[in-house]
Copies of this chain bind each other. A is one copy, B any other.
């Protein structure tokens, strides 16, 4: 009997030879298939541990036509929103025995399709987070086949699983809150114009303007980051708005910080409200009024949809998640 070279990882053939059985039998023992004679099984097991045998994932991927891996494609790994989704998806997938391949498109809408298709080829399914690509490209990706779930990118077809935050509703909540406090001149600091979630927010603002007579909502496009909020502070002060709705908590926090530096009292002079309720929102000065957005739920739900599709469950209906207003201290009665 030729001893297997100990420098090379043991293969199923090594185990079979050592145990004096066929590869098929080793495979059956490993996968607890069918019935194998207990004594044979025992011989196989000792051979496996003697050789420190670990089945090759690569080989079984090919043989089974399945990788137990799912790709998550995000526009920017530095964005807390996508970090939360990634975390939710990773943990949920791990509980079902799946691994996550992560791809960061770095906000490049053109590269996005290529990256998504590439990632898809090594994985059983695809989780697209707020894809920036246009509808045509998205359709191309969907046509590649294999289960795909969309997060925060609603599309008309209901056949593809989708999970989205209802930002339209969320923005409505904060607008109503501000209206109740007597605000009529409101400034919206928008995020990436191309993003679907920004369009939803804009729709929510339109709804609100319709609901509340006399409400005027001016708009600026600033971005989604702390710095964006900081940079826009002077602009905000030179407007006649009594309240600001920020694209998200990051923008709101950046703005709050700058206003504080300038000695502007919030909410007495101006009210500021965010969206997302990220952990930091509770630790600002003043504490930020915002809308809770269960971001990790987005990831978890998206995983459940994909997992359902992988296990042959019927296609799930699109899901819209709604947040709740979190009243803290950055909003107050209108100053005039």
CA gap between A207 and B56 in the complex, in Å? 48
Query: Are A77 and B69 within 8 A (Cβ)?
Result: no
Is A130's beta carbon under 8 Å from chain B? no
Q: Mark A61-95, 1 if CB is under 8 A from B, else 0.
A: 11001010100000001100001101100110010
Is A253's beta carbon under 8 Å from chain B? yes
Checking B87, B119, B121 against A54 with a beta-carbon cut-off of 8 angstroms, the contacting residue is: B121
Query: Are A57 and B122 within 8 A (Cβ)?
Result: yes
CA gap between A120 and B226 in the complex, in Å? 37
CA gap between A58 and B103 in the complex, in Å? 18
Give the interface SS of chain A, mostly helix, strand, loop or mixed.
helix
Identical chains in the assembly: 2
Given contacts A283-B254, A285-B260, contact A94 B104 (CB under 8 A): yes
Given contacts A83-B77, A83-B83, A87-B77, contact A257 B284 (CB under 8 A): yes
Q: Mark A89-110, 1 if CB is under 8 A from B, else 0.
A: 0110010000111111010000
Query: Are B62 and A279 within 8 A (Cβ)?
Result: no
Kindly list chain B residues whose C-beta atoms are within 8 Å of the C-beta of A230: 283
Query: Are A99 and B77 within 8 A (Cβ)?
Result: no
CA gap between A56 and B282 in the complex, in Å? 48
CB distance from A76 to the nearest CB of B (A): 9
Is A59's beta carbon under 8 Å from chain B? yes
Query: Are B87 and A78 within 8 A (Cβ)?
Result: yes
CB distance from A82 to the nearest CB of B (A): 10
Is A145's beta carbon under 8 Å from chain B? yes
Checking B57, B99, B104 against A103 with a beta-carbon cut-off of 8 angstroms, the contacting residue is: B99
Given contacts A122-B69, A283-B230, contact A102 B104 (CB under 8 A): no
Given contacts A104-B90, A119-B99, A122-B99, contact A283 B58 (CB under 8 A): no
Q: Which of A54, A122, A226 has the most chain B CB atoms closer than 10 A to its own CB?
A: A122
Checking B78, B90, B101, B256 against A77 with a beta-carbon cut-off of 8 angstroms, the contacting residue is: B90
CA gap between A161 and B148 in the complex, in Å? 37
Kindly list chain B residues whose C-beta atoms are within 8 Å of the C-beta of A101: 69, 99-102
Least CB separation from A103: chain B residue: B99
Least CB separation from A227: chain B residue: B279
Query: Are B67 and A58 within 8 A (Cβ)?
Result: yes
- A-to-B contact residues, CB < 8 Å: 9, 54, 56-59, 61-62, 65, 67, 69, 77-78, 83-84, 86-87, 90-91, 94, 99-104, 106, 119, 121-122, 145, 226, 230, 253-254, 256-257, 260, 279-280, 282-285, 287
Closest 9 CB pairs of A and B: A257-B283, A77-B87, A57-B122, A285-B285, A58-B61, A57-B121, A58-B62, A62-B62, A83-B83
